Structure 1
């Protein structure tokens, strides 16, 4: 219809243009201004952010002897978040959307060494946002919705008397609303930088109750949390969701995602990560942003003073900036970033140093041959100051194009508790049938050896196995 109107307008104006055109020379298309389509903010996106959180809580106590108290409590620390959402641009100035995010945090109070601490270790939120475009590249927005945070107790909610200890809940979920606002800046066709501040207000929950020395009591906490974060999101506009740009030898993927499972004796871990090519092409030299999360559940037999099976919930999330060097037959990556990790033990085991919350700097390196090399090799390793954790894995194999297979070995350590592995792997490349995106699935299996009783998320001695799915787009 627009083309029809343009043709009608040209036809109506043609008689008036004839004389000037003949007098001044032929009409040139180069004199016509080029219409550049304004970028759209509509699309599905995902990303990662990191920042700082501050908790203020009211601790309210009441008992049957009419003793009451109310005191302020505080917790501070870092957090890393995964973000998923969808936006719709309305007209030329407005953007509305919905989103969900999940955070691993390290907001601490108290002292873990004397079993008198509390950690806000994770949270999730679902909400909506609405904003106005200051210009085509910058969005200012407000946001709100529902959120839930998990508080992990390490003795903080216990009540001690001369004769006994009334143990508080091992953990508690607090739910409530959040409001906030932020600024987002479009830096390329798909990448957006975001800064956001958020206030979350939670309903109070009972953290300890019962009867001690004939006195009935109730202890209750009413928390709120402020967070400030900066992040990077990758947005697929609507046309690219069903028709992504083809990945060729000359144009690599902009983003790689991977998800997998790892199982060993008395341990299972789910992990996932995303690598963003900030230059827009992961086949070339350039800066990268990577995030990785791990959810591990394991158990082990503890001696004195527990003398029972200890169940552990281990959660971690990192965000890392890196640089990639691409050579003729191989590539290398170096990362530097920040990790947040929380390990909750039930029952409490004072002899296990891998407990409670920890955060700190993390470094990682990766070396790998390209897909065309007949012989495959990879080496990766990382170190985090959170629980002094390090990991290294080496693989060599034969690349038959339709699959890669060979031996592998690895080592993992938390606070000096070491697990080593020897096994084999196989990687099968393929394309997702509904989109044509390149993908790989990897399987591995082998034997694990430990120098402890399986007191880390690597698990105990015995067989191990796992699988991972990687998708490039």
Structure 2
């Protein structure tokens, strides 16, 4: 949870400084927004667990919903808070040992993200931005036939950083594309009776390239 606390502190500082200058930037990229995202998702061992020359990537299609609130902090600068709930089709292949990455047979489950982003307007309708925050993901245990096992799963905690480009469409709509890197350093195995193991250290990387569309209000 330390990542969530850091994100909240950064966001609070940004909002505190924003009112005096909020009207100096284009309103196109300010205010609340909601949207959907979809793209490529790949999980693999981090550098401490990697096996050079072996493809250990478990990849698939990611999809989800996002929302946030942005404010202007200068003629071209934007900061905001954002959150996302997503899922993925990424899973290990029980018949391909190279696809294993340390958890046995699993399928990617829901992924939660909360963080901040900072943007810069390169034109009145186009913004580049960087982002960072806390992510919590699940890896659902599966059988050899890729069927989930009675809601038993690994629960992973980590951080996410990324960068992207957002373009305003018309008055309220927007489209964007972004790359995100996540690293999970803590995990626990949760059973269907509500019990779980203690947290243990892991090193799992996640690379995602997603596109999104949404609306501002």
Q: Settle same-fold status: TM greater than 0.5.
A: yes
1:149 aligned to 2:137? yes
From 202, 212, 228, the equivalent of 2:209 is: 228
Distance (whole Å) between structure 2 residues aligned to residue 150 and residue 96 of structure 1 = 29
Distance (whole Å) between structure 1 residues aligned to residue 78 and residue 157 of structure 2 = 28
Distance (whole Å) between structure 1 residues aligned to residue 61 and residue 106 of structure 2 = 15
User: Equivalent residue for 2:42?
Assistant: 54
Number of equivalenced pairs: 168
Distance (whole Å) between structure 1 residues aligned to residue 175 and residue 38 of structure 2 = 12
From 48, 68, 80, the equivalent of 1:97 is: 80
SS of equivalent to 1:92: coil
1:139 aligned to 2:127? yes
Which runs of at least 4 in structure 1 moved beyond 6 Å after TM superposition? Answer: none
Any residues of structure 2 matched to 1:32-47 within 5 Å, and which?
39-47=27-35
- How far has the Cα of 1:224 moved from its partner? 1.1
Alignment CA distance shift 1:149-1:155 (3 Å): same
Q: Structure 1: which 5+ runs fail to align?
A: 1-36, 61-68, 157-166, 209-218, 237-473
Distance (whole Å) between structure 1 residues aligned to residue 26 and residue 68 of structure 2 = 22
CA contact (8 A) 1:207 1:221 kept: no
CA contact (8 A) 2:28 2:125 kept: no
Q: Structure 2: which 5+ runs fail to align?
A: 1-24, 96-103, 191-199
User: Equivalent residue for 1:181?
Assistant: 163
Distance (whole Å) between structure 2 residues aligned to residue 70 and residue 199 of structure 1 = 16
Any residues of structure 2 matched to 1:88-127 within 5 Å, and which?
88-111=71-94, 117-127=105-115
TM-score normalised according to structure 1 size: 0.33
Distance (whole Å) between structure 2 residues aligned to residue 46 and residue 171 of structure 1 = 29
- Answer 1 or 2: higher relative contact order, Cα 8 Å, separation at least 6: 2
CA contact (8 A) 2:32 2:68 kept: yes
CA contact (8 A) 1:204 1:223 kept: no
- How far has the Cα of 1:81 moved from its partner? 1.4
CA contact (8 A) 2:155 2:189 kept: no
CA contact (8 A) 2:39 2:61 kept: yes
Structure with higher Rg: it is 1
SS of equivalent to 2:44: strand
User: Equivalent residue for 2:60?
Assistant: 77
Alignment CA distance shift 1:182-1:38 (3 Å): closer
Distance (whole Å) between structure 1 residues aligned to residue 108 and residue 35 of structure 2 = 22
Alignment CA distance shift 1:182-1:146 (3 Å): same
Q: Kindly report the root-mean-square deviation, in angstroms, between the aligned alpha carbons of the 2 structures.
A: 3.0
SS of equivalent to 2:75: coil
- How far has the Cα of 1:117 moved from its partner? 2.9
CA contact (8 A) 1:39 1:136 kept: no
- Deviations for 1:324-360, whole angstroms, at most 9, x for unmatched residues? xxxxxxxxxxxxxxxxxxxxxxxxxxxxxxxxxxxxx
Distance (whole Å) between structure 1 residues aligned to residue 28 and residue 61 of structure 2 = 33
Alignment CA distance shift 1:207-1:155 (3 Å): farther
CA contact (8 A) 2:185 2:201 kept: no
CA contact (8 A) 2:184 2:205 kept: yes
- Greater fraction helix: 2
CA contact (8 A) 1:124 1:149 kept: yes
Alignment CA distance shift 1:117-1:139 (3 Å): same
Distance (whole Å) between structure 2 residues aligned to residue 232 and residue 177 of structure 1 = 24
